Copies of this chain bind each other. A is one copy, B any other.
Amino acid sequence: MLKPGSTIGILGGGQLGRMIALAAAPLGLRTHIFCPYEDSPAFQVSDAFTCAAYDDMDALDRFAASVDVVTYEFENVPLATAERLARHVPVRPGAKALAITQDRLAEKTFVRDLGIGTAPFAAVDDLPGLEAAVTQIGLPAVLKTRRFGYDGKGQITIRPGDDLAAAWETIGRQSAILEGFIAFEREVSIVAARREDDAFAAFDVTENVHRNHILHRSSVPATLAPEAARTARSIACRIASALDYVGVFAVELFVTKDANGETVIVNEIAPRVHNSGHWTQDGAVTSQFEQHVRAVAGWPLGDAARLGRAEMINLIGDDVDQWLPLLAEPGAHLHLYGKGEARPGRKMGHVNRLWLDESKDGGNCG
């Protein structure tokens, strides 16, 4: 267990690392950011930073020697980096979570092997493999690279009559997975935390709306049958335990409907704090960022109860030009990431809104 005054090392200097650092400080913890990019937003708010490549072993060794635990803000941390650091210092969440969530095929297989629903899927290693997978899964379907995809990158939807060879070219002829197209009612996610000793706390299920494959709006409470919400929590608990997970994570889910009512299946696991949990900064007793810090520090998890009805809207690209009216809006909480240029598609900030005048549907999940 860390003591106040200890230092958390964070791999990645974007907005998630920045918000982890900002949550660590009020708990008396210092942060040291490791990121290869100059002008990383998290550098502005951390006690120390190292600007070096993730394969710079000397820099990694010095970084490891200066911190008491290491965590990360993104799932594509090279395994060699995590392993190098783990020689010297605990890395939380651990290598298992990284190995599985970096590979869509491994992740889907892991979820299916837990008896949890996913879209139908098949491995694709070459064009004949794609043809076989299409026969097995049917169309429409989504072809995704196994590795390094995010926000809709590295994937293409294949519809009946589409040219499979062209699709295979589009994703760069990389090892891939074909996933059956899910006619979902809604997208939701569950953000939760687990400690090393299996203590677990989940925030309320969040409803998410994407635009151009990027999260646009999250809101709580989600429109969701209570039984499906219980299923979502149970899924998160089981995934976290099976991964020996330490920290905050998110499970993105599709809500589907049949004659028996609504149910949820897993779309993706994110082994980190998650954009769909940003509402917790202003809408929950404990924010996802503080919760992550508590978990990786080995501290008691905080109360995950929701304070009221809440929503989060991402400020993408020049949406951020609305900062002044947002500041003037009563009850709106502006969060800007300290980034320079507002390029199209770039997440520049978000705004949280909270309404207390509403009954709540739950708190911690055990």
Contact = CB atoms under 8 A, between A and B. Distances in A.
Contact of A303 (B5, B307, B331, B334): B331
Contacts of A19: 26
A47 B44 contact: yes
B336 A26 contact: yes
Contacts of A44: 25, 30, 47
A101 B307 CA distance: 39
Nearest to A349: B28
Contacts of A307: 307, 356
Interface string A85-106: 0000000000000000000000
Interface in A316-343: 320, 323-324, 327-328, 330-331, 334-338, 340
A338 B30 contact: yes
Interface string A44-88: 111100000000000000000000000000000000000000000
A221 B46 CA distance: 35
A181 interface: no
B25 A323 contact: no
Contact of A336 (B18, B27, B334, B337): B27
Contacts of A328: 300
A356 B356 CA distance: 9
Interface in A163-197: none
A4 interface: yes
B356 A330 contact: no
A25 B5 contact: no
A328 B25 CA distance: 18
B356 A327 contact: no
A274 interface: no
A110 interface: no
A338 B45 contact: no
A26 B331 contact: no
A84 to B, nearest CB: 27
Given A294-B327, A299-B327, A307-B307, A26 B22 contact: yes
A280 to B, nearest CB: 14
Interface string A13-36: 000001100100111101000000
Contacts of A320: 4
A228 interface: no
A28 B334 CA distance: 9
A330 B5 CA distance: 23
A350 to B, nearest CB: 10
A338 B300 contact: no
Contact of A338 (B28, B323, B331, B354): B28
Contacts of A46: 45
Nearest to A300: B328
Contacts of A336: 4, 26-28
19 contacts: A4-B320, A5-B340, A18-B25, A22-B22, A22-B25, A25-B45, A27-B334, A27-B336, A28-B323, A28-B334, A28-B336, A30-B338, A45-B46, A299-B324, A300-B327, A300-B328, A302-B327, A307-B307, A307-B356
